[in-house]
Structure 1
Amino acid sequence: MSFSLAPGEVLCLLGRNGAGKTTTLKAIMGLLKARSGSITLDGKELTTLKPHEVPKCGIGYVPQGRRLFSELTVRENLEIGLMTRKSDRKILEESLELFPRLRERMDQVSGTLSGGEQQMLATARALCIDPSVILLDEPTEGLMPSMIAAIRDVVITLRQRGKAILLVEQRVEAVLALADRICLVENGKVQATLPVQALKDDPNLLKRYVGVG
């Protein structure tokens, strides 16, 4: 499993269920121990770090299923993000500008939010650490079309701001709309890394690696 990610780029890991996409994100975050190889950010070795140390290096993680502190309010969840790297309060404001709906729900218990709102909160919490790299695992899973569009627009904005984004996404149409490059993953290995246009030009790649087409 080998790939690189540049500032202002969206790289998508694409493959069937069980191909190793989520496992890759967990390995980057130190939640699963890498058995070999090296994971670096701007020359800094991450492989030996403990999970709570990785976000402090500037990697924001939005896991599949959101993993919010469901009994805490929206505000408290965001404050936890700010505390991770002692981010300036302006970072909170920038996050709320991307998700204005959260501003209306700051004192609401996060477990009572809708699925789309919870996804917004999980993403905003990750942004509160002011990351240079953002890992998004199935961010549109189970969301209604209007929420999917909102998440897509935020990803585009973050890319324009120079964030490096590693995306795991099963919805092919979302991948084609967002990604700059695609890593086709099978059995825990990158089989090919291609510009997204190559996927548009050759639908057989989708059929081979994702089972659609």
Structure 2
Amino acid sequence: MLTIEGLSGGYGSVQVLRGLTLTAAPGKVTCVMGRNGVGKTTLMRAIMGQLALTSGTIHLDGMALHGMPAHEVPRHGIGYVPQGRRLFGPLTVAENLDIGLMTRRKGAATRDHVLDLFPRLRERLSQPARTLSGGEQQMLALARALCLEPAVLLLDEPTEGLQPSMIQLIRETLIRLKATGVATILVEQRVEAVLSVADSVAFMAQGSVAETVAAQGLRPDAPQFQTYVGV
């Protein structure tokens, strides 16, 4: 269980997060939605130790992550696919995966399992990451994160700019991960994508979670989408 309580922080003198509280349970997808600028990406960066906090705590199964150096956070089982993917472009697909494997000292069995999820990557192991299509790069970013065998997976708008077949592949992958007990925090703006995979939706406003709703009880025309997202 990832537990975030009273989280506040930002960039220099600009405060973005304001007392944010959120939980992510094993085998569940928690979707975070909100208008641009409310702090969704900042929340992800805070969990990954990339943001100076002024208050609040982050715990994974009782272990304190707040204050931990950023390079240590993934070693405790937090996988992260940032917006823009952040691949190592000159390195091959295999080398990008190896970086994920080395983070938590995983081996060939983990690599094979990940490639079974994304068989297209198996065909491109020797290809530089920067030469992949946008959809293939997103596959690789997700595959690299899964090489950690994460307890928690953070995804920041993974379907942005992708064709429907790739969006469907990401959805199917998230459903498989739920079955293995991975807790997922998904930042997503597509209502249909959210309702197809999320267990709960946390709506952000002004740097905090204003309302959390069970996804099962939401419809595409639910007032929360207009209030918090503008769709």
| Band of TM-score, shorter chain | over 0.9
| 1:174-203 superposed Cα distances (whole Å, 9 cap, x missing partner) | 001010001010111100111013321862
Say whether 1:88 aligns with 2:83.
no
Q: Secondary structure at the match of 1:72?
A: coil
Structure 1 unaligned blocks of 5 or more:
none
2:58 is matched with 39
Correspondence for 1:77: 96
| CA apart distance, 1:19 | 1.2
Deviations 1:114-157 (A, max 9, x none): 00000000000001111111000001000011111111111111
Q: CA deviation at 1:164?
A: 0.5
Deviations 1:52-109 (A, max 9, x none): 0000000000000100000000000000000001013211111101100000000000
Correspondence for 1:99: 118
Structure 1 runs, 4 residues or longer, greater than 3 Å off? none
Q: Corresponding residue for 2:68?
A: 49
- Aligned residues of 1:199 and 1:206 also touching (Cα < 8 A): no
SS in 2 for 1:200: coil
**Which of the two has greater strand per residue?**
2
Q: How does 1:157-176 map to 2 (within 5 A)?
A: 157-176=176-195
Q: CA RMSD in A?
A: 1.0
**Could you state the TM-score of these two structures normalised by the residue count of structure 1?**
0.97
Give TM-score, length-normalised by structure 2: 0.90
Residue 83 (structure 2) aligned to one of 57, 61, 64:
64
Relative to structure 1, the CA distance from residue 201 to residue 82 in structure 2 (aligned partners, 3 Å threshold; closer, same or farther) is closer
Structure 2, unmatched stretches of 5+, are 1-19
- Which residue of structure 2 lines up, in the alignment, with residue 153 of structure 1? 172
1:23 matches 2:42: yes
**Structure 1 counterpart SS, 2:57:** coil
Q: How many residues end up aligned between the 2 structures?
A: 212
Report whether the alignment pairs 1:121 with 2:147: no
Aligned to 1:12: 31
Distance between the aligned counterparts of 2:220 and 2:103, measured in 1? 43
By relative contact order (CA 8 Å, sep 6+), the higher-ranking structure is 1
Share of identical aligned residues, percent?
58
**Could you tell me how far apart the structure 1 residues matched to 2:121 and 2:67 are?**
36
Please state which structure has a larger fraction of its residues in helix.
1
Q: Is the 8 A contact 1:74 1:106 kept in 2?
A: yes
**One-letter identity of the residue aligned with 1:72:** L
